[in-house]
Amino acid sequence: MPRRIAHERFKNISSRRALAELKEADVGEFVFRPSTRSEDAITLTWKFWREQFVHIDIQELDKMPGAAIG
């Protein structure tokens, strides 16, 4: 689900798209994207090493309903 987040590293893209974009990026690059697990979470997809990627779910707590993040 697309999210309203104003942050230079956030993109409304899927996990597959994030991996495709990071494949050619330098080790250490990352992108925040919507979580597929919850509307109250975002996911950090990080290029850990060459062809190794890490997905970290970040739970959004104590935010007002309908609030934008950024």
Per-residue confidence at 69, pLDDT binned at 50, 70, 90? low
> Residue 51: its pLDDT value, please?
94
Q: Which residues pair with 69 in a beta bridge?
A: 5
* pLDDT tens digits along 6-18: 888 999 999 999 9
* pLDDT tens digits along 12-65: 999 999 999 999 999 999 999 999 888 889 999 999 999 999 999 999 888 777
51-60: long-range contacts, CB 8 A cutoff, minimum separation 24? 51/23, 53/19, 53/22, 55/15, 58/32
What is the pTM assigned to this prediction? 0.82
